Structure 1
Amino acid sequence: MKTVEPRRALSPVAFRSFAAIERIGNKLPDPFWLFWLLALGVIALSAVLSATGFSVVQDSTGKTIAVRNLLSADGLTVIVDDAMQNFASFPPLPTIIAVMLGISVADRSGFITTLLRRMVARVSGRYLTFALSLAAMVGHIAGDAAYVTLIPIGALAFRAAGRSPVLGCVVAFVSISAGYDASPSLTTTDALLSGITTAAAQTVAPHHTVTPVANYFFGLASSVLIAVVITVVVETVLVKRPDLAADLADDTDAALAQTVEPTAREQRALRIASLMAAAFVAALVAVMIPTGSPLRGPGAGVINSPLFTGMAPVLGLFFAILGVVYGRLAGTFTRASDVVAAMTDGVRSLAPTLVLFFAISQFLAYFKWTKIGEILAVSGAETLQGFRTQGWLVLVGIAVVVTIMNLVVTSGSALWSLVAPVFVPMLMLLGISPEATQAVYRVADSATNCITPMSPYFLMALRFIQTHRKSAGIGTLASFTLPLAGSVWLIWISFFTAWYLLGIPFGPGT
């Protein structure tokens, strides 16, 4: 086959931009140390502002809010004596562990991988792009493991269909990363973000709770939208690249299709596990129907019921059942101890997150106790009220800020922990719900994940691509991902704006 020379991947300006992002990002400390530096900054700032008597008066209530000094006797108690309580009471901590116990069982059993393989097997033509992209949305259940699982599956599926395996890698990578906060299923991201949002919202509304299902309706619709957008851009723009022809050998290897297609035993296990999932959901619905059900909340409510407020263990149990049923039938789980080992591995994979949580929880505790966040929220809200800015425009402006920050701070939980303590209460004072603020953050936090070289998964995707195209570099991958990221951002932000203006609930009870 004649080799087609790849066209120039990126302009010099684009290369310089990526180099600048990489230089800035490399100068930032690890998020763990970043939050400790921020905590030290809060301590110093609280001492200075408190000494100067800095305060603000909230116009709506006449309440005076003054900065409290962390270097005072009470402040040192927060720093030293309350350190363990700050960590233990950090809302995302128990939630993400409970959910991960179940998801790790489903993942280690092979259920999630088989489900993803089944979604893309026997699909060809343009439908393959949509199937692979939608499979990535489902794959968000597995968190970052989706990158390792689905990118090679995408390459194999495209190669088996006679298409460029590089394009398959790109579709899988962009679908996972640019749509990371969207899924037709609840994921650990829902549990993680809702916990941080709850902590931020309680700065001004102590009893406000944001549940893991707070953005479910929006996430479900967004997952389909993003899959459609990626399919349209790939099939109308990227397929026209002349360099794709060089990624294929003379003959299509039909055996690759068998690699993607689950075995008969795996498919049987998947069907029965799926039936168990449907039965589990049906049982929950049946239990919730009677008005006198113990799972109903005050006044026979549904949204404020134990089922919703205690969603984390319910999700964990749901995924654990799927994993156990699938694992037993597929032969990946042969003993009860295999399930325990899977849970142990799942918690072990959370170790970096738990270490980061310790630093974040201290920073947020200091920030909340000093009242600095509350003062910034009140001042920002009153400034925006003075400009008479429309709520949707404020949200889009926040999305732009977060998008730029996400190019450098690539950890979603770290970035949300950084901005939520200001944005969430500030917008609550403007009448914008925490659920809406969290939803727009999810858009901004996701779309640019596939173009920043600071993301370790950007480099991982590049390594996969290089197995099929030795000459590929950062510029090659970026030339594929830039048009996709730009399209996803513009259309997803427009979709969010329309959703917000129409007053559609972002999730149950919002």
Structure 2
Amino acid sequence: MTQQTSAAAPSGVITRFLNSIERVGNKLPDPAIIFLIAMILIWFLSWLFSGTSFDAIDPRTGQAIVVNNLLSGDALAGFLSSMVKTFTGFAPLGVVLVAMLGVGVAEHSGYINAGLKLMLKRTPQALLTPSIILIAIVSHTATDAGYVLVIPIAGVIYYAMGRHPLAGIAAAFAGVSGGFSANFIPSGIDPLLQSFTQSAAHIIDPTMSINPLNNWFFTSASSLFIILLGWYITDKIIEPRLKDTQIDGDTENLPAFDEVTGKERTAFYVASSVMIAGLALLAYASSGEESALRSPNGSLTDFSAPLMQSIVPLIFLLFWIPGAIFGFMVGTFKSSKDMIDAMSKAMGSMAYYIVMAFFCALFIAAFSQSNLGALLAIEGAQVLKAMALPSSVTVVGIIFLTAFVNLFVGSSSAKWALLGPIFVPMLMQLGISPDLTQAAYRVGDSSSNIITPLMPYFPLVVVYCQKYVKGTGIGTLIAMMLPYSIAFLIGWSLFLLAYWGLGFPLGLQSSYTYP
């Protein structure tokens, strides 16, 4: 397929820099082996530092942090006995596989193909990138839906429109993960972070109450900023750089974007009507204050709400049912066996990801058990505190430190549980509110998501890219996403400072100063 792009190629310096990162990164061993090597390295470091006493206090326990020796007899025995549970309990694994069972039916029946063909007729190519990033940002509301739906579909859409599919994957990945803290719609992450922020604020002020939507206005405004910045980077830097990257993947199995037949159009509208009816039924079932889909406090967006915990099964059903209806109506499914074959093909395409997930799960578990990540986060926060910088510089320091720690500790809530009890009281004593401190943390937490292989969904995005470019490795993806990460980190930091300087409200019942 001929790739069409009117954007000028990025400067030679940028291109050479990114190409160097890609070459070095792709000379590394296979990602699965990298996780294995990293796990062995963590074992060695845990043994090396296990006898060292540290002054850093773990805010979760109030005790001095201790590095656990993973090479002790008990630890190795526990590693072997829990290996299967560690793998099967790896959160992204179940999310991806269950969702892909439903998506596989919708894809192989032709339902997604028909929907994309109809959508492409109505989407101006000039607005494709911002539309993809917008959808990716909004997908945060449905927890991990963006990783299993938006990112792969973005690649298909770009390929169908004659643009490089990896540029579509990059734009969607930047919106889903790099723009994780940007969203117009409140999600479960808001009350989760607020709970840690409020607990940390109580160290100084036990009576302080923080609204769960204390950053909502800022995250909404950030959505526009991330869309515009991501749009520019995709069209002016990423896609021009990809113009010479040969598409040599299994594109024969991609949807053929010819005209939609009358039968397909009818089947699509019938199947989509069933999906919409299902969503309407879900909305009705969750509307009542006593709904079983709500959390005990009546919220639909808390992570404890059954609705939030049912997102992946709902994705499965909302794609499996209309996909099956479409398949039987147009004849791509002749019997139930055809539908099961579609699900089997979807699982077959995930084989490489399953292997990577096995080693990734073992590494992440070892890193967490060793306490090395916690030690890194706490020591870094203490160094920043000891520097006693001006307020605005300290806020930027928090952003950059968080982005660095994020390369090693992926969970947003886990990092804030470590850093919040240090940062929040420290800045309260400088006259900075917990609301602003939390906003700074969220900027740093998002910006480096897209360049760390330790992010649980990073290997999955590598697999998506390999569908089009077989030689895609960790280096390819990091080089492709690095311009977004650097631009988000610097640009978003400046945006927060400007937002603060202009005095726009951060969110509901929020402030910039304390008291």
Do both proteins adopt the same fold according to a TM-score greater than 0.5, normalized to the shorter chain? yes
Which residue pairs with 1:191 in the alignment? none
User: What SS does the aligned partner of 1:293 have?
Assistant: coil
Show the counterpart of 2:169: 176
CA distance in 2, matches of 1:323, 1:68: 49
2:126 to 125, 129, 137: 129
The alignment partner of 2:334 has SS state of coil
**Which has the larger displacement, 317-326 or 392-401?**
392-401
- In structure 2, the CA distance between the partners of 1:85 and 1:221, relative to structure 1 (3 Å rule), is farther
* 1:461 Cα deviation after fit: 7.5
CA contact (8 A) 1:177 1:447 kept: no
Q: Secondary structure at the match of 1:182?
A: helix
Match of 1:286 in 2: 284
Shift in Å, 1:182? 3.2
Distance (Å, rounded) in 1 between the aligned partners of 2:33 and 2:229? 38
Q: Within 2, Cα distance between the matches of 1:315 and 1:217? A: 29
Aligned match of 2:114: 114
1:32 and 1:482 map into 2 onto residues whose CA distance is 21
Post-superposition offset of 1:457: 7.8
Is 2:396–2:440's contact at 8 Å kept on the other side of the alignment? no
Shift of 1:154: 0.9
What residue is the counterpart of 2:47 in the other structure?
47
User: 2-side partners of 1:43 and 1:484: how far apart?
Assistant: 33
Identity %: 26
CA contact (8 A) 2:70 2:370 kept: yes
Query: What is the distance in 2 between the residues matched to 1:278 and 1:298?
Result: 28
Q: Is the 1:179–1:226 Cα contact (8 Å) retained in structure 2? A: no
Contact 2:447 2:485 in 1 (8 A): no
Conserved 8 A contact 1:58-1:378: yes
SS of 1:66's equivalent in the other structure is coil
CA RMSD of superposed structures (Å): 5.1
Distance 1:65 1:483 in 2: 36
CA distance in structure 2 between the aligned counterparts of 1:299 and 1:39, rounded to whole angstroms: 40
For the residue of structure 2 that corresponds to 1:69, the secondary structure is coil
Residue 64 of structure 1 deviates from its aligned partner by 1.9
Query: 2:102·2:316 contact (CA, 8 Å) conserved in 1?
Result: yes
Please give the residue correspondences for 1:457-472 in structure 2 after superposition, counting only pairs within 5 Å: none
Alignment partner of 1:17 is 2:14 = no
1:298 aligned partner: 296
Aligned to 1:365: 365
Q: Is the 8 A contact 1:129 1:231 kept in 2?
A: no
- What SS does the corresponding residue of 1:298 show, helix, strand or coil? coil
Q: Does 2:400 correspond to 1:393?
A: no
Contact 2:116 2:157 in 1 (8 A): yes
**How many Å apart are 1:13 and its aligned residue?**
2.9
Are the counterparts in 1 of residues 403 and 445 from structure 2 also a CA contact under 8 Å? Answer: no
Task: Indicate which of 151, 160, 168 corresponds to 1:153.
Answer: 160
**Distance in structure 1 (CA, Å) of the matches to 2:268 and 2:325:** 9
Contact 1:32/1:355 (8 A) holds in 2: yes
> Distance between the aligned counterparts of 1:24 and 1:491, measured in 2?
27
Secondary structure of the structure 2 residue equivalent to 1:180: helix
The verdict on how the C-alpha distance between 1:220 and 1:265 changes in structure 2, with shifts beyond 3 A counting, is: farther
Deviations 1:42-74 (A, max 9, x none): 111111111334463347964122112112222
Provide the secondary structure at the position in 1 that maps to 2:50.
Answer: helix
1:431-479, Cα deviation, whole Å (9 max, x unpaired): 5999996776555455999xxxx9798898799xxxxxxxxxx9xxx9x
Residue 89 of structure 1 deviates from its aligned partner by 2.1
Q: Deviations over 1:115-143 (max 9, x none)?
A: 222122156xxx43215753686696546
Residues in 2 aligned to 1:178 and 1:425: alpha-carbon distance in whole angstroms: 30
Distance change (3 Å), C-alpha of 1:83 and 1:128: closer
Q: Which residue of 1 aligns with 2:383?
A: 383
Q: Decide whether aligned partners of structure 1 residues 337 and 427 sit closer, same or farther in structure 2, where only a CA change above 3 A counts.
A: farther
Matching of residues 22-37 of structure 1 within 5 Å: 22-37=22-37
Output the CA distance in 1 between the equivalents of 2:338 and 2:440.
41
Aligned mates of 1:280, 1:499 — CA distance in 2? 41
In structure 2, do the counterparts of structure 1 residues 418 and 38 end up closer, same or farther at CA, with 3 Å as the change threshold? farther
Matches within 5 A, 1:55-70: 56-58=56-58, 62-70=62-70
Q: 1:439 to 1:284 in 2, by over 3 A?
A: farther
- TM-score normalised by the chain length of structure 1: 0.64
Kindly state the Cα deviation for residue 105 of structure 1 after the two structures are TM-superposed: 1.7
Report the CA distance between 1:290 and its aligned residue: 2.8
Deviations 1:333-366 (A, max 9, x none): 2322222222222222222222111112111222
Cα distance, 1:279–1:221 mapped onto 2, change above 3 Å: farther
Cα distance in 1, alignment partners of residues 257 and 49 from structure 2: 63
- Go from structure 1 to structure 2 and tell me whether the alpha carbon gap of 1:292 and 1:222 turns closer, same or farther (over 3 Å shift): same
Amino acid at match of 2:285: V
CA contact (8 A) 2:43 2:70 kept: yes
Secondary structure (helix, strand or coil) at the match of 2:173 reads coil
2: CA distance between counterparts of 1:260 and 1:225? 35
Instruction: Specify the code of the residue in structure 1 equivalent to 2:400.
Output: G
Contact 2:447 2:486 in 1 (8 A): no
Task: Indicate how the Cα distance of structure 1 residues 222 and 421 shifts in structure 2: closer, same or farther if over 3 A, else same.
Answer: closer
Shift, 1:221, TM fit:
8.8
Aligned residues: 414
Superposed CA offset, 1:181-223 (max 9, x none): 536xxx9xxxxxx99xx9xx99xx9xxxxxxxxx999999988
**How many angstroms apart in 2 are the aligned matches of 1:483 and 1:51?**
41
Separation (CA, whole Å) in 2 of partners of 1:69 and 1:270: 57
TM-score norm. by structure 2 comes to 0.63
The separation in 2 between residues aligned to 1:100 and 1:217, in whole angstroms, is 34
Give yes or no for contact 1:381–1:426 (8 Å, CA) kept in 2: no
| Distance of aligned partners of 1:497 and 1:83 in 2 relative to their CA distance in 1, 3 Å threshold | farther
